[in-house]
Amino acid sequence: MTSSRFPANRTPEIGAFFQRDRNWHPPAFTPAYKTSVLRSPKRPLLSLDNTLSELTGPVFGHNILGELDNDLIHNFAGPGESAIGPRILVYGRVLDERGIGVAGALLEIWQANAGGRYRHKKETYLAPLDPNFGGCGRTITGEDGSYCFRTVQPGPYPWPNGPNDWRPAHIHFSVFGHGFAQRLITQMYFEGDPMIWRCPIVRTINDRRAIEGLTAALDMEATIPMDARAYKFDIVLRGRRSTLFENRIEGN
């Protein structure tokens, strides 16, 4: 499941992006999700063509990645130490609507620790920090669009939306393509978590299939014996089966 490096001499595809079906997304204004009220657009959205600079670059350098960048169990840990919590592999592919793997995409993830706490200065949740867990990592998709992260399963946490609202366990994903216009953000949930269906953010999504597309499937065949369970999460760009992205309701 490890991804091979994207060949530096490969010419990426360029051209206009596929149009997205906006009905696949929840409405921007969702009062039950309180922070959406002030930041939702008040006027109709405009669709603009991408410029050449947005489509072609500049791009990040692949040589900036370190050996442990995709291993959150160890990339922040002290010598001989490791992060605390249930160990998991998160793997899958980044695909376009044609089912073709998107090679050379930069994937970044960030998450709470096993107790549900982020390493953030303004974090108010009382769960303890893990001194050996930084909560972020990155990798580059292989020639077939594949990726793999090694991490711990994050815990749920309360958030000040309603009197007793909790976020289900989740991992944030950022997908960075070959130009500035190609950064997308989404979240991955875990199969079987009953808190998914109670979350006010998730409940803004009208199509159950879209929610299921944000839920990683447990894959016991890909586990590391006596070490880590595995979850499979494919990210699909465009098309009716496309993954929901928080930052690009108008299209990715």
pLDDT tens, residue by residue, 149-197: 999 999 999 999 999 999 999 999 999 876 556 678 999 999 999 999 9
CA atoms of 216 and 90, how far apart (whole Å): 8
Least confident of 65-79, 183-197, 227-241: 227-241
State the pTM of this model.
0.83
Nearest to 24 by CA among 172, 178, 199, 236: 236
The amino acid sitting at 153 is Q
Would you state the pLDDT for residue 98? 82
List Cα–Cα distances, 224 to 80, 97, 236, in angstroms. 20, 31, 26
The pLDDT confidence band at residue 4, using thresholds 50, 70 and 90, is: very low
The pLDDT confidence band at residue 1, using thresholds 50, 70 and 90, is: very low
CA atoms of 136 and 94, how far apart (whole Å): 19
List Cα–Cα distances, 143 to 4, 66, 139, 146, 167, in angstroms. 7, 19, 13, 7, 34
Active-site annotation, residues:
118, 157, 167, 170, 172
Do strands 235-237 and 87-96 pair parallel, antiparallel, or not at all (unpaired)? parallel
DSSP class of 212: H
CA atoms of 68 and 71, how far apart (whole Å): 5
What average pLDDT score do residues 237-251 get? 66
Would you state the pLDDT for residue 17? 55
Phi, psi of 148 (to 5 degrees): -155, 135
Q: Is the predicted pLDDT of residue 35 greater than 50, yes or no?
A: yes
The pLDDT confidence band at residue 246, using thresholds 50, 70 and 90, is: confident
CATH topology of domain 71-237: Protocatechuate 3,4-Dioxygenase, subunit A (2.60.130)
Q: Is the predicted pLDDT of residue 2 greater than 50, yes or no?
A: no
